[in-house]
Amino acid sequence: MLVMTYNIQSGRDIARRLDLSGSENVIRSLKPDVCVLNEVRMRTRDTGFQEQARLLGENLGMDWRFFKAMDYDGGDYGVGFLSRPAIGETKYWVVPQTDTLYSENRIIFRCPVVLDGRPVAVYGTHFGLSDTDLDNATDLAERILSEETGPALFMGDLNMRPDDKRIARLCAHIANTAPGEPFFSFPSDAPDRKIDYIFASRHFRLVRTFTHPTQASDHLPLLAELTWA
């Protein structure tokens, strides 16, 4: 099975030109079974009122969900999810926001799907930028993951480097699929840092992790090929 996380920069390429088809073509070419999408806009004025999660899902023939984090420019802004298998009953949590320097709300979602014949809980998120936001998001993620007993994936743009102590805290609950490799994913034209992650529970065996070169966004997509352990 192939899983993917991709910050699509709201359908803008590295030069910030609006072209959602660029991200769509990247996903189509890679053919992931599930894909977490960061920086998704729905019906905002600046995108011409695109419903980006719906457009990507329908154009790619994938089931889709959108999880709103905040109001933005007349519409909604948040995290999306695409899946080849049907998506079950979803839920999401709001990350407590106590840092007034950054106005962007954050959420963590849970989408159940069946991959290669077994149920999997896919969690997606986009962590904040300040230390306070990162602490709050990590605290919430730890609590959620500690209660998950079945096969699980946890993916998204976490805005942390691999040596951040909060990454180690997450790894106490779920395994980083790229523990010893950089897999730089940002910025896409000259990647020099890893801030996008895929974590998998003990139920999976990692085949490989890789990024895909593209400038359809300011991030590279990160992918992990997995089998059942």
Per-residue pLDDT reduced to its tens digit, 86-128 = 999 999 999 988 766 666 789 999 999 999 999 999 999 999 9
Per-residue pLDDT reduced to its tens digit, 164-203 = 999 999 999 999 999 888 899 999 999 999 999 999 999 9
Q: In angstroms, how far apart are the furthest CA atoms of the chain?
A: 46
The count of structural domains within the chain is 1
CATH number at residue 80: 3.60.10.10
Q: Is the pLDDT of residue 212 over 70?
A: yes
As a whole number, mean pLDDT of residues 26-43 equals 98
Per-residue tokens: 69? 């984090």
Q: Is the pLDDT of residue 76 over 80?
A: yes
As a whole number, mean pLDDT of residues 31-58 equals 97
First to last CA, the chain: 12
Strands (E) in the chain, as ranges, are: 2-7, 34-42, 63-72, 75-83, 91-94, 107-115, 118-126, 152-157, 175-176, 196-200, 204-211, 222-228
As a whole number, mean pLDDT of residues 54-76 equals 97
Please give the residue range of the domain that contains residue 149: 2-228
What pLDDT, on the 0 to 100 scale, is given for residue 199?
98
Q: Is the pLDDT of residue 158 over 90?
A: yes
Going from the C-alpha of 157 to that of each of 7, 73, 85, the distances in angstroms are 7, 22, 23
What pLDDT, on the 0 to 100 scale, is given for residue 206?
97
CA dist 161 and 30 (Å) reads 25
